[in-house]
Amino acid sequence: MTEPSERITVRLTVNDRAVTQVVEARCSLADFLREDLGLTGTHVGCEHGVCGACTVLVDGRTARSCLLFAAQLDGRTVTTIEGLTPAEDLSPLQESFRVCHAMQCGFCTPGMIVTVTELLAQEPMPSTETIREAISGNLCMCTGYVNIVRAVEQTVARRATGARA
């Protein structure tokens, strides 16, 4: 029988990189990404699954990285905001955020980008209402959301017309 342990070895893929690491059982995925791997684009806000700042993709689906333990991620694939950002310049979604002033302090932005990435993968042409509902789990205390919705709509519109950001 597997003996419960305080230290666990995990092998996972983070942003296309294979990682093998011994982690403390209680270490959250968010802390693992930030402190062990130096991927500080994943922000830690409320640490109980309410604010959405720490949202990442696990096997392509969004997850709150404060509500997963790194020990659970053995064999899984994690994509963070760093993995969604091109080596140079910005992705079309990020560029729309820049153009539309969809951020002020920027704390919620990585979680917003990750959440909208899943939304657009599932619904390439979302309505305004669908966009609003999708980002309702990501708290933004600065913008009032209007420009964030606008940025997502602009990304969708540019995709539809085939124009480059």
Partner 1 sequence: MKPAPFRYARASSLAEATALLAAAPGDTKLLAGGQSLVPMLNMRLVRPAVLVDVNGLRELTGITPLPDGGLRLGALTRHAELAASPAVRERAPLLAEAARHVGHAAIRNQGTLGGSVAHADPAAELPAALLALDARVHITGPRGAREVAADVFFRGLLTTALEPDDILTAIEIPAPPPGWGFVEIARRPGDFALAGVAVVVRRHPLTLPSLPRGGEGIGAVRVVGFGIGDRPLRLIGAERVLAGGRLDAEAAARAGAAAGADCDPPSDVHGSAEYRRHLATVLVERALLLAAARLAERP
Residue nearer to partner 1 on the CB measure, 71 or 151: 71
11 binds partner 1 (CB under 8 A): no
**Count of residues binding partner 1 (CB under 8 A)?**
37
Chain centroid, CA 97 distance in Å:
15
Q: What are phi and psi of 158, to 5 degrees?
A: -65, -40
User: Which helix (H) or strand (E) element contains residue 55?
Assistant: strand 55-58
Residue nearer to partner 1 on the CB measure, 8 or 39: 8
Strands 77-79 and 7-14: parallel
Using CA atoms, how far residue 69 sits from 66, 92, 98, 160, in Å, is 8, 31, 33, 39
Cβ-based neighbour number of residue 63 at 10 Å: 20
Which of 32, 34, 69, 126 touches partner 1 by CB under 8 A? Answer: 69
Alpha-carbon gap, residue 75 to 11, rounded angstroms: 6
68 binds partner 1 (CB under 8 A): yes
72 binds partner 1 (CB under 8 A): yes
64 binds partner 1 (CB under 8 A): yes
Residue type, 58: V
CB of residue 134 vs partner 1: minimum separation in angstroms?
A: 6
C-alpha gyration radius of the chain: 17
Each residue 98-137 as x (binds partner 1 by CB under 8 A) or -, in order, gives -----------------x--xx-------------xx-xx
163 binds partner 1 (CB under 8 A): no
The answer to whether 73 touches 8, Cβ cutoff 8 Å, is: no
25 binds partner 1 (CB under 8 A): yes
Binding site for partner 1 (CB under 8 A): 1-6, 8, 24-26, 28, 31, 46-49, 52, 55, 58, 61-64, 66-69, 71-72, 74, 115, 118-119, 133-134, 136-137
